[in-house]
Structure 1
Amino acid sequence: MRRVVQFSTGNVGRHSLRAIIGRSDLELVGVHASGPSKIGRDAAELCDWNEPTGVIATDDVDALIALRPDCVVYTALAETRPMEAIEELSKILAAGIDVVGTSFVWMAAPRYAGDWVREPLEKACAAGGSSLYINGIDPGYSGDTLVHTALSLATRVATITVQEIFDYANYDDAEYTGAAMGFGVSEDDELPPLYLPGVVESMWGGQVRSLADGLGITLDEVRQRTERWFTPERIDCTMMTVHPGQMAAVRFATEGVLDGRVVITLEHVNRLTAAAAPEWDFPPDGHVGVHRVVIDGDPRVEVNTHVSHPVLDPTDAGCISTAARVVNAIDWVCDAPVGLVAVEDIPQAAIIKGLMWAPDREPQLPV
């Protein structure tokens, strides 16, 4: 049984926390929380589990390291505080504790990450004899596992398109997702950091380069593009209220160019309600969201992934799947060689162990 610490209990962390508690092959030994309203509370209260765990949330990183867990599940927001997150991760890794995480999206393709983020984490792994694995849905699944599956069905490939198309209207995360994507800002306002030159490319470009290397091609360049849509009408939704003249949709992409043409595209199309950007792509069959791969080749291959839940909104279901991408890999990562782990290092058959819970461990559904 692996001893595990959950680091953060936000939109993704509360779902990984539930998964850790529910699995018989994992033992929750600690929880990190940063908000004063969460510190001192039982882990069960922080993830709607129906029985107390006896594990109390703390913001003391040293105390969690002293528990000597086998693994830390790191889901704390890192994209807005990268240097602080590097320091936290390095401290844990240097202490000899393996880490799986869903934040720090630069590391979804670690061999192609910038030196500024990769090198300190490599050094920490070497110092502690530990391993680090970062993944999620996007960046992550759609740009690696899903596209690899689709490519395996083709004998020739002309272009690859990977898309997240999602309506974020019911996603209660204006503080990070809303602000980072620029929902609710006016065209004359300061440009959100995500759309500054090089930012999108730095986050998703690693997966483009990884795909190119896998295909055995050398790209001319990797570039980004962005387009924002400003609403003429007021839009009210869970995320926020968007007033006329403010941004209610965006599409951005990282593109790999070969011989003057775009051959690999990783694109987001995100909006608040179906009223936003009505001329842009929508998920098929009336779904709220889709992660889609289209291979233009011989034959043409299209794979669409939809996630749902009997109680939660599809955006929350997506957070569960994001958590699953790393929780399911804990056992393998704990046995992995020292250093940075990429998705292609992990046999897919190795990450399904422990997924079928016994009926007596089935939790109540959150409401």
Structure 2
Amino acid sequence: MTIRVVEWSTGYLGRMAIEAIDARSELELVGVFVSDPAKIGVDAGRLAGLDRDLGVTATDDRAALLALEPDVVLYTAETETRFMGGIEDFTEFLRAGINVVASGPVLLQYPHGTIPEEMITALADAGREGGATLHVNGIDPGFANDVLPLAMTSLSRRIDLIRVGEIADYSVYHQGETMRRLFGFGQSMDTLPPLLRPGMLAAGWGSVVRQIAAALEITLDEPLIERHERIATDRDLSLLACEVPAGTQGAMRFEVVGQVDCEDRIILEHVTRTADDQAPDWPRPDRGNGCYRVEIFGEPEMRVEFTHHDSGGDHNVSGMLITAMRLVNSIEAVVAAEPGFIYAKDLPMITGRGLMV
């Protein structure tokens, strides 16, 4: 059975998704939503940077796209600054009987304990009403800290502690607004960046900790614990995204911790540097300048480092690509799932079936 797909947005992630949809034989691209007037009427293949037309032109006509009665909307539009707009879109699609696979808002990866239960119930009810399913995932939060560690726990006899995290050099990270405003790089050490205000870390990554706990059937203490450290750069740094003057914030380490009876059991960690020689006592990748790391302490003890890069060695580009592919390759399983919400812990194994040619 061919699954009819509408791609919602053609930003960096959306363009990769279009090419990925075209590569899968069970998927058919039938529509593309754009918000940029300059893209209206342009063929999807050209928007994706392909050297050919796909026979599908982009539009900003929502009603026309829903009238196509697609099986699924692959939603890669920006949602972190328009959370309620995303929720409204998902509700409309689900009630219309259209499945949704989305890259955000990331807290919907596993929203229990993060947003009001009535909001979760309303989305699930919209899905059941329309006979459609919603799945939100990515890489982080997502595969690197939900699917990967949970797969590893299948090898355990006893689990004492799970630590999942990203260790990365952000000197080549492209997002200037995120780097300066949210993370605080290049800003005064006297000013606490928005990301580190009480409750923000748990809002952003608590879904990871809670989903692992739910999959392992343990009840965490509430609220989740937030910890962080920051250090100033000792010299001026010129990054791809922003300038980091000497004396301003140059590196950050944070944890979101799930405890049971006041004992750490699940830890989500991020170690972020803007120069390789910063914070030498903080965790470092075994190789290269960035990785996702999963450590499981118990019997046996296990550790895996997951790295990626594109053919040119760029891990920023490949980070977007693996996010897009995780979503695209999940479409068939989401469409087959029971209506409502489905989380990474509940999906069957997703593979790259059909991609080895």
| 2:326 equivalent to 1:325 | yes
Q: Residue 354 of structure 1 corresponds to which residue in structure 2? A: 354
Corresponding residue of 1:160:
162
Structure 1 residue aligned with 2:247, among 245, 248, 260?
A: 245
Give 1:112 deviation, angstroms: 4.8
SS at match of 1:197: coil
Question: Residues of 1 paired with 2:134 and 2:214: CA distance?
Answer: 22
1:144–1:343 contact (8 Å) kept in structure 2? yes
User: What is the total number of aligned residue pairs between the two structures?
Assistant: 354
| 8 Å contact kept, 2:40–2:57 | yes
For each residue in 1:188-221, what CA deviation from the matched residue of structure 2 results, as whole angstroms up to 9, or x when unmatched?
A: 44x4432221121123223322322333433233
Which residue is 1:89 aligned to? 90
Q: Which amino acid aligns with 2:147?
A: T
Q: Which whole-Å deviations, capped at 9, do the CAs of 1:25-65 have from their partners, x for residues lacking one?
A: 21111222223443443222332212122322223322221
1:213–1:90 CA distance, 2 compared to 1 (3 A): closer
The answer as to 2:108 corresponding to 1:107 is yes
1:255-274 to structure 2, matched below 5 A, reads 255-274=257-276
Residue in structure 2 matched with residue 283 of structure 1 by the alignment: 285
Match of 1:14 in 2: 15
Q: Confirm or deny: 8 A CA contact 1:100 1:326 kept in the other structure.
A: yes
Structure 1 runs of 4+ with >6 Å offset: none
- The answer to whether the Cα contact below 8 Å between 1:25 and 1:354 also exists between their aligned partners in 2 is no
Unaligned runs of 5+ in 1: 359-367
Residue 130 of structure 1 deviates from its aligned partner by: 1.0
Could you tell me how far apart the structure 2 residues matched to 1:109 and 1:60 are? 31
- Alpha carbon RMSD of aligned pairs, Å? 2.1
Whether contact under 8 Å (2:213, 2:220) holds in the other structure is yes
Provide the residue aligned with 1:76 in structure 2.
77
**Structure 2 SS opposite 1:64:** helix
Say which is worse superposed, 97-106 or 198-207, in terms of deviation.
198-207
Query: How does 1:123-272 map onto structure 2 within 5 Å?
Result: 123-176=125-178, 178-189=180-191, 191-221=192-222, 222-272=224-274
Matched position secondary structure for 2:126:
helix
Question: Taking structure 2 as the reference length, what is the TM-score of the superposition?
Answer: 0.91
Matched to 1:127, the amino acid is: E
CA distance in 2, matches of 1:214, 1:22: 32
Which residues of structure 2 form unaligned runs of 5+? Answer: none
In the TM superposition, what is the alpha-carbon distance from 1:234 to its structure 2 partner? Answer: 1.3
Structure 2 Cα separation of the partners of residues 217 and 105 of structure 1: 22
Q: Which amino acid is the alignment partner of residue 160 of structure 1?
A: I
* TM-score normalised to structure 1 length: 0.89
- 1:310 aligns to what? 311
Rounded to whole Å, the distance in 2 between the matches of 1:244 and 1:331 is 50
Contact 1:171 1:316 in 2 (8 A): no
Taking the aligned partners of 1:59 and 1:178, their CA distance within structure 2 comes to 32
